[in-house]
Structures are given as C-alpha cells and as structure tokens.
C-alpha cells in the first residue's frame, strides 16, 4: 500500500522519551502529526471541531515526566529523535482513535464541553475546500472507521509497511488491525495511486485553514437569553429527573438527523462557499467551482437555510427529482452557492457540492409545494458547465449562464440556413425564455439550441451549441467530419460550422429519445461516405453517440442518403447501449442496411470507419470486398452477418 518509504523512524518506540525529547519531535513534525490526527478523528465532529480536536490531540501527547524510561542518550543523536517521534506518533494515533463523537459518560460529556486549549470563540475554522476528487475521497473516508483512516494515513503519508501499521494499531488498542489495513488498501487501489496527492492537498490540512464567523444573529440572541436559558435548563433537568423512563426513539431520531454535527455543518448557510467574481478568469479549472454567487437574494439567510434543509431532509410535500445515476443524499460538506433570486414566479436557489447541482424552488404565491432537483455535474468543463436551468414554464426554459459566457444566441437546428437570434440576458446572467424542443413522439418541426461563446479572457472566440433534454444542465452538441484522404483521424469539434449544422439538421429530432436520461454530450460522427449503386449519388454514414454523466454511452447509426429536404431524418440502421463504440475508446465502427434503388432492386450496403480495410458478408448473402464500403444485391429480408477487418488484422463485428 505505501507509495513511498520514509526511512527515518522506527515503528514503535522502545521506551517512553522525556518531555524535552518529545517536545522537540512534536515541534519539528507538528504539521504531520496534526494531519495524521485530523484524518483519524471521526468526520462526524464536523470540520471546525475536528481541526481544533486534531491540534488538541497533538498538543496533549507530551509525557508528564521530564525524564524518560531510561537515561537520555547524547543530545542530537539520531536514534533519540526517531524514538521520540515514533512514541509521539503512536500516542497521537491512540488518542485520536479513542476520541468518540458521542460521549458515553457524564464526566466525558462535561469535560468535552469545558473550555480546553486550543479554543476559538466567534470564529469557525475549516481547511480549504478541494475539488471533486478530494470530495469523493472525503466521502469515502466518512464511510469507513477511524482505524481504517489511521491505517491509510500511516501507509500513504508516513510510508509505513503493512506489518508496521498492524503493530502500531494493535498497540493503540485496535482489535481488528488487519481488517483496517485491508480497508485502507482498498481505498488506495480504487484511486489508482492518487491517494498520496489527495491526502496532501489543503482539503486535509488542518494547519492551513480558512475562517468564517459563527451565526452573528444567533450569537446575539444567545447572549441576550443566556440568563433565561440557564433557568430553563435547570427547570428542564428537574422535570426530566421526575419523568419515567422510555425508549426515547423519537428524540433520538431528531437528534441524529437534524443535529448531526457533520450534517449541521453542511447545511449551515453561513458556511456556504462563495467564489470571487473574477475567479473564473484566473484559473486553469473552468467549471462550477469558479461560479460566483449571483442573484438578488444571495443574502437572504432564511431562503438559503430552507433550501439547505430541504436538501438535507425533504419532507413529504417536497417534489424531489434526480437525473439517472444521481444520488439524493445530503451534501457531505458546505456546498457552493451559485444563485439565489426570483425567476418565473418562484424563489430559486442553485447549489453545487462538487459533484452535483441542486436546484431548490419555492412558489412566491399560491401556496404550492417546494421542489428539489438534482443532477450530476462531476468533471464538468467550459462547455458542460456553461448553463444551468433556473426555471421551466409555458414560454420555455430560462438558464443561468456561466460567468465566462460572453455572447448568447438561439437558433433552430431544423433551419440550418437561418441566422441565429439574439437572446436577452439579465445582469445576473439569467436568460430570457428559450423554446423547449418537442417531446419524443410529437411532431418535430423545430429544435431550438443555444449558441454560446466563451469570453476571450479564457479562450479565443470559442463558440458551441447546447440544447435542453429535460435535465438541469443542457447537453453539449459536437460534430466529427468525414475522414480526410491521408489525413490523421478527425476529432470532435464544435457543431457551429455549415457541415455540422447540415448533419445535425437530419439528426436533431432523434434527440427526443434521450430526454431525461442524464446525457452530458452528444456527438455526430460522419464516419464514412459511400457511392450508391445505379445512381452514383453519395450517402453518408453517421454514428450519433450520447455520453452520460455516469460514464456509459449509447449509439445510434444512421444511413443518410440524398434527400429532397435538408432536414429529412436519416434511416436508423443500428443501436447499442453501454458501449464505447464511436468514442475515443472505441474508434472503429461497422454497420449495414438493406437499400432499395430507384429501379426497385434491393441491395445490401455496408460501411466502416477509416481503419476498416475489408468487409465480409455471410449468411443469406455472401460477399467479400477489400474496401471500407460494400454494395451487393440482396433480398430485402435476407439475414446477413457483417464482419470487418482492420488495418492491423483484427476483426470488427458490425453494430446490430
């Protein structure tokens, strides 16, 4: 499990060092020890309490005796320093493991609530928030026990071997040290060796923290009511002593749900992350993490608190929806505020927790129920994080645009020759209504899209198309043109040119079948061109690939022959789900179909991508063509199996 080895320290100390030796080791390695304690302590403490507890654990490990178990060796001897650090590290792990977020005795209850150094009044401390990878690791650490977290930190950050970790954990009182080590090794293997870099990030550094005030209004109320509270507590205590015992199930449920320290921290509106207004123009990561908080109600604490509480535990009257593959659990840490304002007759709050966008909406009048919508947005970029739906109504969809969008227009994919129309955008970045594409099964007479252009502060005049498929984030549309003769393989490009618009004009209406399925991007790949028999006209083979936020994709292969109308849909000849075909991980494709010539004769047509050098047909029709396309006479209902051969000699089955 260790990714490196620090060859300086023994596994376990052979003796207890004196206070001077221990203090020297503690001061020299203080940041390492505090990070080790922070990772081992229960995440349920919340980041503020865990930061203070980590510092307290390390500062209280010094032995009381000035002398150790044996006479001190010569000052400065290396073995003394290593033994002192090893003993200190073992005490830090032991004390951090012994810390429980739920005290089991009155003495522990009182001692943990008495002022103990270090203590902070009026401020909340927490490490700097990381990205989606750090958030995912933090959530994984939350799900395992303290021994496993300690084993992970000791193996990855301290470079200890498995035997050394087991010995230290056993000495610290862990009963199943081997099980904790196995869990830690699983966490490392799941992240492909990136755990060391993630654990070394500011997300897990309790020595580099940010500060925020506590709830100022609540603090003022507490000050005013301190005397009355003391009287009420005394009175309540006397009443509780006089009450008979019961199982306390209801109160336990409320305490565990509403008052959980980690959940309370994540749902505290005072701790919401807010990016600087120009952060997007001075970073290499252009996504939701650099969106500033916008809207007229970003300072409405009551609205923000309602939105967070609904996300933390929606009641039965709340309409909750989530795109495919999106979890509805509360955020693990305070999310980022993207927007809070009034749009379409509702108060709307948009939040982002590193992996999901949450939209909370409550009617401004009429007494309707609030709604919570969730959608995955992990690994979003300049295009897929360019807009979020803020409202849907009879007049269309309104979006909140990313701060880097400098220009926005609308166009109809079924009218490729019609110029784009300007789109109104408010000062807060909210667009005017954009017409909604028709649902699947209805007459497809238009397909509205937004054409957005990024600011030149991050990229030179980069324009792209997005369209609504019913989710919170619109879908990015791209296009890959026909392969050029002798040219390298083409890469997907923005669907803004003439050839791209012409291709999407014949494909757009097929997008309706993808509605509400969590699609991130759709690419139209014109992978082959074929001369038709008898007529000599040229047809195009297109593979349309839809990638989801979850990862799996689905494809649809179309045969587009010359048509009198530029928007006539192509013929769908094959489909497949959960496949890598037609992507950079599946760059070869082969498909075929039966086609009737104007003379009435039926043919079997087939075509492969650029690396297909031979196509073979077997079954009801037998043919072998040493080329990337095939056209032979065949009965309309003949059953045929197609196989392609690639330039490297490998076989390629056809998409069915």
DSSP letter string, 441-487: TS-----EEEEEEE-TTTSSS-EEEEE--SSSSPEEEEEEPPPPTTP
Quote the CA–CA distance of 458 and 637 in Å, as a whole number.
55
Backbone angles phi, psi at 463, to 5 degrees: -110, 150
In this prediction, residues 496-510 reach a mean pLDDT of 95
In this prediction, residues 531-543 reach a mean pLDDT of 95
Pick from 256-270, 349-363, 613-627: least confident: 256-270
The tokens of 536 are what? Answer: 């000599």
Instruction: Give yes or no for residue 101 having a pLDDT over 50.
Output: no
Q: pLDDT band for position 2 (50/70/90)?
A: very low
What is the percentage of the chain residues whose pLDDT exceeds 70? 82
Quote the CA–CA distance of 448 and 468 in Å, as a whole number.
8
Whether the CB-CB separation of 475 and 513 falls below 8 Å is answered with: no
How wide is the angle at C-alpha 628 spanned by C-alphas 626 and 634, nearest 5°? 80
Determine what percent of the chain falls in helix, strand and coil, rounding each to the nearest 5: 30, 25, 45
Query: pLDDT value at position 233?
Result: 44
Query: pLDDT value at position 495?
Result: 95
Sorted by sequence, the CB contacts under 8 Å of residue 369 that are 6+ apart come out as 317, 318, 319
Whether the CB-CB separation of 43 and 138 falls below 8 Å is answered with: yes
In this prediction, residues 63-91 reach a mean pLDDT of 59
Whether the CB-CB separation of 438 and 512 falls below 8 Å is answered with: yes
Q: pLDDT band for position 454 (50/70/90)?
A: very high
Pick from 215-224, 331-340, 362-371, 393-402: least confident: 215-224
The tokens of 379 are what? Answer: 């690994």
Which of 344, 376, 3 lies closest to 159 in space, CA to CA?
3
- Per the listing, tokens 């099980």 go with 179
For 208-233, what is the HEC assignment? CEEEEECCHHHHHHHHHCHHHHHHHH
The tokens of 142 are what? Answer: 């939350």
What is the percentage of the chain residues whose pLDDT exceeds 90? 52
Quote the CA–CA distance of 558 and 566 in Å, as a whole number.
15
More confident residue, 260 or 320: 320
Model confidence pLDDT, tens digit, residues 539-596: 999 999 999 998 889 999 999 999 999 999 999 999 999 899 999 889 999 999 999 9
Compute the residue count for the chain.
656
Pick from 79-88, 199-208, 554-563: least confident: 79-88
Which of 431, 419, 510, 523 lies closest to 476 in space, CA to CA?
523
Query: pLDDT value at position 484?
Result: 73
Pick from 228-237, 243-252, 398-407, 497-506: least confident: 243-252
In this prediction, residues 367-394 reach a mean pLDDT of 92
Q: pLDDT band for position 485 (50/70/90)?
A: low
In this prediction, residues 222-242 reach a mean pLDDT of 46
In this prediction, residues 200-221 reach a mean pLDDT of 67
Model confidence pLDDT, tens digit, residues 301-312: 999 999 999 999
Query: pLDDT value at position 131?
Result: 65
């Amino acid at each position: 499990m260790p990714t490196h080895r620090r060859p300086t320290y023994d596994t376990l100390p052979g003796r207890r060092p004196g206070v001077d030796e221990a203090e020297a080791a503690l001061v020299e390695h203080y940041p390492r020890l505090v990070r080790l304690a922070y990772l081992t302590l229960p995440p349920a403490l919340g980041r503020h309490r865990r930061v203070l507890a980590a510092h307290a654990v390390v500062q209280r490990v010094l032995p009381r005796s000035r002398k150790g178990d044996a006479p001190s060796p010569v000052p400065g001897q290396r073995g003394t320093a290593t033994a002192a650090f090893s003993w200190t590290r073992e005490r830090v792990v032991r004390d951090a493991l012994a810390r429980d977020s739920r005290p089991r005795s009155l003495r522990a209850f009182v001692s943990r609530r008495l002022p103990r150094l270090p203590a902070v009044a009026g401020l909340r401390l927490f490490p700097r928030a990381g990205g989606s990878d750090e958030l995912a690791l933090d959530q994984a650490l939350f799900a395992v026990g303290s021994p496993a977290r300690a084993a992970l930190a000791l193996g990855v950050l301290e470079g200890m071997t498995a035997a050394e970790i087991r010995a230290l954990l056993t000495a610290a009182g862990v009963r199943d040290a081997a099980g904790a080590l196995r869990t830690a090794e699983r966490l490392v293997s799941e992240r492909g060796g990136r755990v060391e870099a993630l654990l070394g990030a500011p997300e897990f550094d309790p020595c580099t923290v940010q500060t925020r005030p506590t709830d100022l209004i609540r603090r003022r109320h507490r000050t005013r009511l301190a005397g009355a509270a003391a009287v009420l507590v005394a009175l309540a205590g006397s009443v509780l002593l006089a009450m008979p015992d019961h199982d306390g199930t209801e109160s336990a449920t409320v305490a565990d749900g509403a008052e959980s320290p980690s959940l309370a921290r994540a749902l505290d509106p005072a701790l919401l992350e807010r990016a600087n207004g120009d952060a997007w123009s001075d970073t290499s990561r252009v996504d939701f993490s650099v969106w500033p908080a916008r809207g007229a109600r970003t300072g409405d604490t009551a609205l923000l608190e309602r939105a967070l509480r609904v996300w933390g535990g929606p009641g039965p009257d709340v309409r909750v929806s989530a795109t495919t593959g999106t979890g509805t659990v509360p955020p693990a840490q305070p999310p980022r505020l993207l927007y809070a304002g009034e749009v379409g007759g509702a108060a709307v709050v948009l939040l982002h927790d590193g992996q999901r966008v949450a939209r909370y909406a409550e009617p401004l009048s009429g007494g309707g129920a609030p709604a919570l919508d969730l959608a995955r947005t992990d690994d979003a970029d300049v295009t897929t994080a360019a807009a979020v739906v803020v409202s849907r109504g009879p007049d269309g969809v309104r979006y909140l645009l990313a701060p880097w969008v400098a220009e926005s227009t609308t166009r109809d994919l079924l009218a490729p020759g019609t110029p784009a129309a300007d789109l109104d955008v408010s000062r807060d970045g909210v667009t005017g209504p954009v017409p909604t594409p028709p649902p699947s099964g209805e007459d497809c007479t238009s397909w509205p899209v937004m054409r957005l252009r990024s600011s030149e502060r991050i990229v030179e005049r980069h324009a792209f198309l997005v369209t609504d498929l019913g989710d919170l984030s619109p879908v990015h549309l791209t296009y890959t043109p026909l392969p050029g003769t002798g040219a390298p393989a083409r890469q997907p490009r923005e669907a803004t040119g003439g050839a791209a618009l012409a291709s999407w004009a014949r494909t757009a209406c097929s997008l309706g079948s993808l509605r509400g399925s969590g699609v991130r991007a759709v690419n139209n790949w014109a992978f082959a061109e074929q001369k038709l028999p008898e007529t000599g006209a040229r047809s195009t083979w297109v593979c349309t690939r839809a990638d989801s936020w979850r990862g799996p994709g689905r494809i649809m292969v179309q045969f587009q022959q010359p048509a009198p109308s530029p928007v006539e849909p192509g013929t769908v000849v094959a489909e497949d789900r959960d496949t890598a075909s037609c992507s950079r991980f599946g760059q070869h494709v082969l498909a075929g179909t039966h086609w009737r010539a104007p003379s009435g004769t039926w043919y079997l047509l087939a075509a492969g991508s650029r690396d297909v050098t031979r196509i073979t047909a077997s079954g009801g029709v037998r043919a072998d063509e040493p080329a990337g396309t095939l056209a032979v006479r065949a009965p309309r209902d003949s059953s045929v199996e197609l196989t392609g051969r690639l330039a490297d000699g490998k076989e390629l089955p056809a998409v069915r």
